[in-house]
Amino acid sequence: MKRSIFTIFMSFLSLSTLAQELKETTLTSQIQEVTLFLSGAQIFEQASGQVAAGESTVILKGLSPYLDEKSIQVKAQGNFTIQAVNKRLDYLTEKEVGEKVQELQKQMDAIQKSVTLGQNRLQILANKAGLLSANKDLGGNQSGPTMAELRAALDFFDTELTKITTEELEVKSKISEGEKELERIRNQILAMQESKNKSTSEIRIRVKAPNSGTGSFQINYLVTNAGWYPKYDVRVKNISENLQLNYKAEVYQNTGVDWKNVKLRFSNANPNQSGQAPQLEKWELNYARYTTVNKFALPPVPGQVSGVVLDSNGEPLPGVSVLVKGTSIGTATDLEGRYSLTIPPSAQSLVFSFVGFSSQEVAIQGRSTVSVRMQEDVSMLQEVVVAGYSQEVQRSLQGRVVGVSIRGNNSIESAPLMTNFVENQTTVEIEVAEPYSIKTNGERTLVDLKTYDIPATYRYTAIPKLDKDAFLLAEITDWSQYSLLEGESNLYFEEGFVGRSILNAAALQDTLQISMGRDRSIIMQREKVDQFSKKRTIGSNMTESRGYEITLKNNKSQPVTLLVKDQIPVSVNSNITVTAGELSGGKLDQQTGIVTWEVTLSPGTQQKLSLQYEVKYPRSERVILD
């Protein structure tokens, strides 16, 4: 048994020695293309250089520490064979601090020195005030001071204490300003640094060549801590012109490596999402008493949610991905860790993710402010150790390393398809013609994708019972041709910013509705009419009637068509009867009780609508109608 262990140990030692004796060649690679997913990115790099004869290792350094080893694919051109591909973290290569960071650090040192001097001055002033207070005894044991001496002493104490207090306030103010400036510079340095993790990744490609010569390598891999979200600018000059839709991509990247003059491609795919088709489980039906039902309705979802994301030490985290679960609506935190997001009514929770930290899913629960503190997950950035392999181990690796593509000689990747929109079998990709440079600082970058001039029909909708403003809706038919995704939209109407909304490209309707926000040029008022609001007893029943008057006025210089909605109650009890009265020609849906009017108002005109109904119920009971 001991001899067997000794033999295995010596074999391993010889393999390690062989690995250490392999010649290593470091090549410089350049990022050529980046395909951004809703979460994550695929990086395409190229490198070329001399390949030594025999077995050697080609090393590509300075890559993102968030590189996914399982996703590495390598293609090569040259007279050699690729034997193995591995990735490991390089802790030996420290990123150089730029001149700007050094300058900011010098500013921090100067401000810190000023703050320290201020704190020392406060201590001196405190001692001075204490000394003055300790010597305030003005008289001896036998006789007190004269009035003149007392007045002079009081004036002296008043003058000196005022000077000390005034100076203390000035020094404290300067210290507070200095501490705020220190915090600002710390955040700026954090944003300018390429990565919080000082390490980088390196890809090690083991090759075997009969002779020395040149070789070129095309490498692609997935990285986390990057992605994009669809954003839109929706502009309408007036309701007689087409709608202008500016399709944008909000890009965030904190991968640790700058992207310099790279070709960008945006995909609606999510490689982190499971591709496994779901399966139906058996639906077991039982008596209601054995079934748990949530009887409490969820609180209403606010139209916008914001907050701040901190790390475990309470420091702000820039570049954190904030996503509305189940949608493509999201954003990234700014340099102060803050975010703001418009959310759809169906939103239930937000997902916060950042490499090196555990992802968190937080329920919205009707809140407009959701802040979180991320917890570090050190297991996500463990070092991958690479050892040498014998010929037998190399052969066993062929075709068995998950996600690593090992090709033969003279393998050349085909050229990409140069189109603006590429519709694949399951995804849509948007290519940008001009190269972009995006620094790895967590800042959000807006990339213009395309501008559409879209024919649209416009109509106003209003529910005066709930809101006194009218809302303009733009309706687009045949909208699937534009390859839109669900996302936030900034709304501009009549040359002015009117608010934010959600472009619901996930809807199944043939007509896409885009809310253009409020139009306060249309005035509405809903009033209860007392003469139609009565209560009387008839036998064993009580009868109550209600009447409302809705006044609409168009202050615009052009006619508008307005869809007005209100409602009457719907009985769910056979002993309660609801009867509709005067509705001014409105259409009543008997199932929902919703009354709809379509009104066309000329410029400067107004119109009144009536809503009346009567409710009969047992006199011994009570109903709520107001």
- Whether residue 498 is contained in a domain is answered as no
Burial class (CB in 10 A: 0-12, 13-18, 19+), 210: exposed
Candidates 343, 311, 345; CA nearest to 330 is 343
Same structural domain, 232 and 126:
no
Taking alpha carbons only, the member of 236, 350, 336, 248 closest to residue 304 is 350
| Last-in-domain residue among 326, 349, 378 | 378
Do 111 and 183 share a domain, yes or no? yes
Residues 155, 241: one domain? Answer: no
Tell me the residue range of the domain where 113 lies: 99-136+149-192
Q: What is the mean pLDDT of each run of 10 residues along the chain (626 residues)?
A: 50 48 86 90 93 91 86 90 83 52 80 85 79 62 64 75 83 85 78 55 90 92 89 88 90 89 86 60 61 49 81 86 87 85 85 87 87 78 35 32 36 36 60 85 81 89 90 85 84 84 74 82 91 85 92 90 92 90 93 93 93 91 82
| Amino acid at the residue 402 | V
Tell me whether residue 411 is in a domain: no
In a shared domain, residues 370 and 236? yes
Residue after which a domain boundary falls, among 378, 405, 428 = 378
The CATH number of residue 357's host domain is: 2.60.40.1120
* Sign of CA pseudo-dihedral 151, 155, 161, 166: positive
8 A C-beta contact, residue 225 and residue 66: yes
C-alpha span between 400 and 406 (Å, rounded): 10
251 shares its domain with 348: yes
Q: Which residue has the tokens 């020392």?
A: 120
Distances (CA, A) of 382 to 67, 95, 146: 12, 19, 81
* CATH classification at residue 588: 2.60.40
Domain assignment present for residue 399? The answer is no
Q: How many domains does the chain have?
A: 3
Q: Which of 378, 398, 415 is the last residue of a domain?
A: 378
Q: Which two tokens stand for residue 369?
A: 């402010």
| CB 596 within 8 Å of CB 461 | no
For residue 466, the one-letter residue type is L
* Rounded CA separation 597/57 (Å): 76
Q: Is 44 inside any structural domain?
A: no
155 and 251 share one domain = no
360 and 252, same domain (yes or no)? yes
541 in a domain, yes or no? yes
**What is the reported pLDDT for 295?**
44
pLDDT for position 588: 94
322 neighbors 362 (Cβ within 8 angstroms): no
Q: Are residues 124 and 236 located together in one domain of the fold?
A: no
pTM: 0.58
Per-residue model confidence (pLDDT) at position 137: 60
Which residues of 210-271 form beta strands (DSSP E)?
213-223, 226-236, 243-253, 259-267
pLDDT for 444 equals: 80
Please give the C-alpha separations between residue 613 and each of 194, 351, 526, 583, in angstroms, as whole numbers: 67, 47, 15, 9
8 A C-beta contact, residue 60 and residue 205: yes
Reading the block at residue 272, the tokens are 């982190």
Asked if residues 380 and 318 have their Cβ atoms less than 8 Å apart, the reply is: no
Instruction: Check the CA dihedral 617-619-620-625 and report its sign.
Output: positive
DSSP 156: H
Are residue 243 and residue 363 in the same domain, yes or no? yes
CA 85, 87, 92, 98 dihedral sign is positive
Does 370 fall in a domain? yes
| 607, 542: one domain | yes
Gap between the Cα atoms of 134 and 517, Å rounded: 69
Is residue 130 situated within a structural domain? yes
* C-beta pairs of 123-130 under 8 Å, 24+ apart in sequence: 125/164, 125/167, 125/168, 125/171, 128/164, 129/161, 129/164
Two tokens at 79? 């007279």
At residue 402, the pLDDT reads 34
Instruction: Using only the alpha carbons of the chain, give its radius of gyration.
Output: 36
Do 117 and 252 share a domain, yes or no?
no
Please tell me the distance from the alpha carbon of residue 62 to that of residue 197, in angstroms, as a whole number. Answer: 13
Query: Is 502 inside a domain boundary?
Result: no
If asked whether residues 373 and 231 sit together in one domain, one would say: yes
